[in-house]
Structure 1
Amino acid sequence: MVYKFRIISDEVDDFIREIKIDSDASFYDLHEAILKCTGYKDDQMTSFFICDDDWEKEIEITLEDMGAGSSEEDTFVMKDTRLSELLEDEKQKLLYVFDPLAERVFFIELSEIITGKDLQHATCSRKEGNPPQQVIDFDEQMKKMDSSLDLDENFYGDQEYDMDDFDPDGYDIGSGGNPYDEDKY
């Protein structure tokens, strides 16, 4: 069988990739196909997540076994997990975390299952738009944010005020008494 995946991003409106891959291929093969069709480097600790219909994460498939899960939980590693082990229905949803530090993802849907066919290698059958930048440079982002802020003297409000607005008599300052004294009420 051949799985056809549609990949989109919430960062770039016109970005779409469609990948056809054999159902017996591994999640690592799909990972490599995504990197190839986006031009991304293979230098991030990426993960796939099988999701429910509301894109809530259910099962994680990691690039490497980090040994962080409990012994009772199944650990899925990309190279050891066939697509057909976890994917069996059209419209199944996945997330592909391509920038783990900023938690940026691609939204993937198993858009079609083609029976009676096999593929030797994954192919990108549709390529529209440019992918988002692979990783965010936080220093660069901070520089952009700092330069876009206009912190003039009026940033915190009106700098002109009347000292009479701060009349100490109005605040009962210096009386030294208990503000909850029952005799006052």
Structure 2
Amino acid sequence: MIYRFRVILDNTSEDDVFRDLEIREGDTMEDLHNIITQSFGFDGMEMASFYVSDDQWNQGEEIAMMDMSESGATVKMMSTTIINSLIHEAATRLIYVYDFMNLWTFYVELGEIVEEAEGTDYPNLMFVNGQIPDEAPEKTFEAEEEDDDFNEFEDGIDDDDYQDMDFDENWN
């Protein structure tokens, strides 16, 4: 079967930037990564990850390009994770982040599942809308809950009074 995805740039401008693409359900997440980077004009050499997402686009489990985990934690890898093991009729959304320094962020959604078309090479870029900007769109990160009464500087300690602290002020 062939999965048809719409990949949308998380963009703050008024222009919609997206790509519609097709890929075999048995291909790897690395194959999906490759067609996304190529279709948006990236060289594909930066770090990237997919994240399983729910219907509200909340970021879930990571599928990494390279294993950067510490302390023996297991991480799903793009090269060994088959697309249909993550994405199917009941789970249709992914978040894709390319280039961790610039945080190009994309919403990836399964649009439909179709039969393979004879004579078509897959993966296949079906449709292009909009041009990717020269720089990644700015991200604003908001805390989920803010404690209005919290002030990190109101701890009752006078930073200029070294007499009550347990160290020598000339230690270095």
Are the aligned partners of 1:26 and 1:82 in contact in 2 as well (CA < 8 Å)?
yes
Q: How does 1:133-148 map to 2 (within 5 A)?
A: 133=134
- State the shift of 1:9 in Å: 1.5
TM-score by length of 2: 0.69
In structure 1, the gaps of 5 or more residues are 137-185
Q: What is the distance in 2 between the residues matched to 1:124 and 1:132?
A: 19
- State the shift of 1:120 in Å: 5.1
Count of residue pairs brought into register by the alignment: 133
Match of 1:54 in 2: 56
Match of 1:79 in 2: 79
Q: Which amino acid aligns with 2:134?
A: Q
Match of 1:40 in 2: 42
Q: How does 1:1-185 map to 2 (within 5 A)?
A: 1-11=1-11, 12=13, 13-68=15-70, 71=73, 74-89=74-89, 92-114=92-114, 116-117=115-116, 121-133=122-134
Are the aligned partners of 1:53 and 1:93 in contact in 2 as well (CA < 8 Å)?
yes
The root-mean-square deviation of aligned C-alpha atoms, in Å, is: 2.2
Highest Rg: 1 or 2?
Answer: 1
In structure 2, the gaps of 5 or more residues are 138-172
Are the aligned partners of 1:69 and 1:75 in contact in 2 as well (CA < 8 Å)?
no
Indicate the structure with greater helix content.
Answer: 1
Q: What is the distance in 2 between the residues matched to 1:87 and 1:134?
A: 30
TM-score by length of 1: 0.64
- State the shift of 1:59 in Å: 1.4
